[in-house]
Amino acid sequence: MAQTIGYHIVISGYGLWLPGDERGHWSEAWDVELGFVEPHKLNAGDAVRRRMAQERQKHPPTKFTPPMQAVIAATLERCEGESDWSFAAITIEVTHAHLLMTRTNRDIDNVVKWLKDQTTKAIHRHTSHERPVWCKGRWRSFIFDEHIWWNTKRYIDRHNERRIA
């Protein structure tokens, strides 16, 4: 079996990738009237489910301002320094962040929860933002192949180049 090289993680701001999203969604079933969707599988967009999710939101969507992005970057750097893994690439966009991380012996889902918790606390402490920061869950893929690793790194680096240009 192939050894895990690392992980590509995408986390979105609160309220920005809802159940029913037209790009597809990974949401678990949560409405009996609409029927159930298969969890842990990309489900097709559904305008009714999306509208219902929007109506259930308790706060407006979170978009990252430059000060929030700076706090996220500094917090991720601190977390990396305290860990057995490292980041090979990071981009922090207005609506989401991409993280390319090396392999860890820890449970990667717990690592992502920790990163979201630490960045949320830092944003609340260092900015005026008091609402939720991140969406529930994350998108995460395991990388086993060097070619995919380098393609993912280039993809994330292009996010940064595009944002700066």
Amino acid in the structure at residue 37: V
Q: Which backbone phi and psi does 89 adopt, to 5 degrees?
A: -160, 145
Predicted confidence at residue 152, as pLDDT, reads 95
The SS3 assignment for 77 reads helix
What is the mean predicted confidence (pLDDT) over 118-132? 97
Query: Distance between CA atoms of 61 and 143, rounded to whole angstroms?
Result: 30
What share of the chain has pLDDT > 70, as a percent? 72
pLDDT above 70 (res 74) = yes
Residues of the chain with CATH 3.30.70.1290: 6-15+62-164
Pairing of strands 96-102, 87-92: antiparallel
pLDDT confidence tier of residue 57, bands split at 50, 70 and 90: confident
Query: Distance between CA atoms of 165 and 160, rounded to whole angstroms?
Result: 9
Predicted confidence at residue 88, as pLDDT, reads 97
Q: How far is residue 118 from each of residues 77, 122, 125, measured CA to CA in Å?
A: 11, 6, 11
Q: In the CATH hierarchy, which top-level class contains the domain 6-15+62-164?
A: alpha beta
Comparison of pLDDT for 158 and 89, the residue scoring more: 89
pLDDT confidence tier of residue 30, bands split at 50, 70 and 90: low
List helix spans (H) across 83-143: 108-126
Cβ neighbours, 10 Å, residue 120: 17
Q: Which of 72, 125, 81, 121 is nearest to 99 (CA)?
A: 72
Predicted TM-score of the model (pTM): 0.82
pLDDT confidence tier of residue 35, bands split at 50, 70 and 90: low
pLDDT confidence tier of residue 90, bands split at 50, 70 and 90: very high
